[in-house]
């Protein structure tokens, strides 16, 4: 694997091989601690990030690499430098891999056609966030052993969510049933073709789910009004305490972060016994170590 641009096109065996490799990189593991010794990984974040950027940085350092952290803020992007000029100039400094987040869907794919080093998609617009889906699948596999026959309910702003798209592809490839739930205006066309079932009735879907993945309401990507108010969205699609009590015994609560506390997820549920949100973050380092090891 030279690049990681998306989950689309991956076969089950390929996903499982990557997740198996990540097992060797769990936080206390030391597999291949020097595989990137003397090499540089460049984090290029044209959009803000906490979890993805820091965990790719930690993952690269744990493999022995030096890390170049570049963000668009404070860069020559403000002077009009193009995406391709920016990445070509950074590539000229010698990294073995570019980890790219960009607001435009397809940006990492474009970059991959113009550079020689590996390109890893750290989230492109509303398209894909492949490393997030892999760490989510890894987290579920740690709890369940395998995903076959399990139901994952993805709730909220699916229209703007690259996490939802990558997860539908990844989780269904691994044998899970995925149900996408949100207001009709936030359910994009094409979900069934991706492999998901679709519903607008959270209360009916909730008791069937083995895991509920709440998504952030991405107000920054919304140029029009998709629902009457945030309060109305929360009332119909927020996972509050009363709703969480209707979940199956042992069912898990997930969120890719950052959380709008009190909107898509109540603080008591986010921090409650069902929540695996911080496990997702911890597992992200192991999964990103495996990705860097394979791509670099």
Residues near ligand CP (CB under 6 A): 49-52, 123, 132, 256-258
Sheet holding 197-199, edge to edge: 197-199, 177-181, 151-155, 211-214, 252-254
Integer Rg of the chain from CA: 19
Is residue 64 classed as helix, strand or coil in its secondary structure? coil
Our CB check for ligand CP shows the closer of 129 and 150 to be 129
The C-alpha atoms of residue 168 and residue 164 are separated, in whole angstroms, by 6
On whether 142 is known to bind a ligand per the annotation, the reply is no
Distance of closest approach, residue 256 Cβ to ligand CP, in angstroms: 4
Distance of closest approach, residue 110 Cβ to ligand CP, in angstroms: 20
Helices 162-173 and 130-144, packing angle to 10 deg:
50
The C-alpha atoms of residue 12 and residue 171 are separated, in whole angstroms, by 9
What is the longest distance spanned by two Cα atoms in the chain? 55
Residue 51 half-sphere exposure toward CB, CA atoms < 13 A: 22
Distance of closest approach, residue 161 Cβ to ligand CP, in angstroms: 10
On whether 289 is known to bind a ligand per the annotation, the reply is no
Is residue 150 classed as helix, strand or coil in its secondary structure? coil
On whether 51 is known to bind a ligand per the annotation, the reply is yes
Our CB check for ligand CP shows the closer of 95 and 123 to be 123
Our CB check for ligand CP shows the closer of 128 and 293 to be 128
Our CB check for ligand CP shows the closer of 167 and 296 to be 167
On whether 162 is known to bind a ligand per the annotation, the reply is yes
Distance of closest approach, residue 48 Cβ to ligand CP, in angstroms: 7
Our CB check for ligand CP shows the closer of 32 and 131 to be 131
Distance of closest approach, residue 258 Cβ to ligand CP, in angstroms: 6
The C-alpha atoms of residue 21 and residue 75 are separated, in whole angstroms, by 36
Binding-site residue set for L-aspartate: 79, 162, 216
Binding-site residue set: 51-52, 79, 101, 129, 132, 162, 216, 257-258
């Amino acid at each position: 694997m030279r690049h990681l641009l998306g989950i689309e096109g991956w076969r089950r065996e390929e996903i499982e091989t990557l997740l198996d490799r990540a097992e060797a990189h769990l936080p206390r593991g030391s597999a291949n601690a020097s595989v990137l010794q003397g090499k540089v990984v460049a984090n290029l974040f044209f959009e803000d990030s906490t979890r993805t950027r820091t965990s790719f940085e930690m993952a690269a350092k744990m493999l022995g690499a030096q890390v170049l952290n570049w963000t668009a803020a404070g860069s020559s992007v403000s002077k009009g430098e193009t995406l391709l000029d920016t990445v070509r100039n950074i590539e000229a400094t010698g990294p073995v891999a570019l980890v790219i987040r960009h607001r435009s869907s397809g940006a990492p794919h474009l970059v991959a056609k113009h550079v020689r080093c590996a390109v890893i998609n750290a989230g492109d617009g509303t398209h894909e966030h492949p490393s997030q889906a892999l760490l989510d699948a890894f987290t579920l596999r740690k709890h369940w052993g395998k995903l076959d026959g399990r139901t994952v309910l993805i709730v909220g702003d699916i229209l703007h969510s690259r996490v939802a798209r990558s997860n539908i592809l990844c989780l269904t490839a691994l044998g899970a049933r995925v149900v996408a739930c949100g207001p009709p205006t936030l359910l994009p066309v094409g979900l069934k073709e991706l492999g998901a079932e679709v519903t607008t009735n959270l209360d009916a879907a909730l008791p069937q789910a083995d895991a509920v993945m709440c998504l952030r309401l991405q107000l920054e990507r919304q140029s029009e009004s998709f629902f009457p108010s945030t309060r109305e969205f929360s009332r119909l699609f927020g996972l509050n305490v009363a709703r969480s009590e209707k979940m199956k015994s042992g069912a898990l609560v997930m969120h890719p972060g950052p959380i709008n506390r009190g909107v898509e997820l109540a603080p008591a549920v986010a921090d409650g016994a069902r929540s695996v949100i911080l496990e997702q973050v911890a597992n992200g380092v192991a999964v990103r170590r495996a990705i860097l090891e394979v791509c670099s």
